[in-house]
């Protein structure tokens, strides 16, 4: 973070009030406000006129009225609402202190795991920052890695179904291109088992445990089937997202085209497949499937490295955060379990994200034994 003295910060805040901040200046002021936390520096050192303090206060009140309601808390990390508490402190001339912030916390040890590709003959640890080749037991190249993309080669002479398995750990995402051209974006904590080559006249079938976004290559003679535990999705060529995490409701969301979805659970009463349309979500329920209209962007934003919550419960949000950042969170503040949040994050560190929630939901958190523990403020 760049050092910002109070005089420069004052000028930036005044430019913000007048709507004249450039993008670079907003980022600089954002970095300053992120570190403006403790209580040994006085807001009165900014020497704001009373009229400016009042204008600042009114802006904050207006934003909070338009962006917060009932038990739904709105969190926009790239929005000035994130810093409402800090601005209020300045306007009321409360005491603060700013220090240089670090993006890392030594007490939060995040173990980085490797992406693992299991072929028929060996286990390959993939570094998503390098390029390389994957070979079979005969030494023939079956796939080429280019950074965070693994692309399989098509072999028209292949007559046997040979499966590989790709495991993406928490804290990472990866892209897989199958031999038929189907593109699969794999979310964190996801395993997928797939054929090295598809055989003409047989279904193109893959097995998913986790979450993935599929852009299926069209092939009218060979349907593409995703087996996601009890959830089965069948298509000819389309774009859709499938989630089959054990700790969440399993579902499929259709972006374009048409898919057939069915529940293969042992105790399911309604086993007949259902066709869903673009913009619909099919969720597994005990007696079959529940179909709802949704905003598909909420379900595929993770492919753009975005973390989006749209009126989601805090327990569901915690699961997403744990997968995204490969951390463990223990919530000891039970009131949050019934609170819902809306927000969008992109490049924030785990500590920046937690600080945003802390300001909005009014809780404390500490890092103990490598775990994030949330408590009542």
pLDDT of 112? 83
pTM, 2 dp: 0.74
92-143 pLDDT, tens per residue?
A: 332 333 333 333 344 677 778 999 999 988 999 999 999 999 998 888 999 9
Q: What is the mean pLDDT of the chain?
A: 81
pLDDT of 370? 87
pLDDT of 40? 37
Mean pLDDT, to the nearest integer, of 153-182?
94
pLDDT beyond 60 at 221: yes
pLDDT of 43? 42
pLDDT of 109? 73
pLDDT of 42? 39
Question: Binning pLDDT at 50, 70 and 90, where does residue 56 land?
Answer: low
**What are 302's two structure tokens?**
């993770």
d(CA 377, CA 364): 5
Mean pLDDT, to the nearest integer, of 282-309?
93
Instruction: Report the DSSP pairing between strands 274-276 and 183-186.
Output: unpaired
pLDDT of 61? 45
């Amino acid at each position: 973070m760049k050092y910002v003295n109070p005089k420069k910060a004052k000028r930036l805040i005044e430019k913000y009030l007048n709507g004249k901040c450039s993008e670079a200046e907003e980022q600089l002021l954002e970095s300053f406000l992120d570190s403006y936390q403790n209580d040994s520096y006085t807001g009165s050192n900014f020497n704001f006129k009373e009229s400016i303090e009042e204008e600042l206060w009114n802006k904050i009140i207006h934003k909070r009225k338009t962006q917060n309601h009932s038990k739904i808390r709105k969190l926009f990390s790239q929005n000035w609402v994130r810093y409402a508490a800090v601005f209020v402190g300045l306007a009321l001339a409360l005491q603060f202190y700013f220090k240089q912030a670090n993006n890392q916390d030594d007490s939060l040890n995040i173990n980085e795991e490797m992406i693992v590709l299991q072929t028929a003959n060996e286990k390959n640890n993939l570094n998503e920052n390098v390029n390389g080749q994957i070979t079979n037991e005969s030494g023939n190249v079956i796939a080429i890695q280019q950074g965070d993309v693994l692309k399989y080669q098509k072999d028209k002479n292949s007559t046997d179904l040979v499966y590989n398995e790709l495991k993406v750990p928490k804290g990472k995402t990866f892209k897989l291109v199958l031999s038929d051209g189907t593109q699969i974006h794999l979310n964190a904590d996801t395993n997928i088992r797939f054929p090295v080559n598809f055989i003409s006249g047989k279904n193109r079938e893959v097995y998913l445990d986790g979450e993935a976004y599929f852009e299926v290559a069209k092939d009218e003679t060979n349907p593409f089937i995703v087996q996601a535990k009890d959830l089965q999705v069948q298509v000819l060529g389309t774009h859709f997202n499938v989630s089959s995490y054990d700790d969440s409701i399993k579902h499929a969301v259709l972006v374009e085209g048409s898919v057939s979805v069915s529940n293969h659970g042992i105790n399911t009463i309604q086993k007949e497949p259902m066709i869903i349309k673009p913009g619909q979500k099919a969720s597994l329920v005990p007696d079959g499937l529940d179909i709802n209209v949704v905003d598909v962007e909420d379900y595929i934003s993770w492919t753009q490295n975005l973390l989006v919550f749209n009126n989601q419960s805090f327990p569901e949000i915690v699961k997403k955060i744990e997968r995204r950042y490969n951390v463990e969170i223990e919530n000891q503040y039970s009131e949050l379990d019934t609170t819902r949040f809306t927000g969008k994050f992109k490049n924030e560190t785990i500590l920046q994200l937690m600080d945003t929630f802390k300001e909005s939901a009014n809780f404390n958190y500490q890092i103990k034994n490598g775990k994030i523990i949330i408590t009542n403020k």
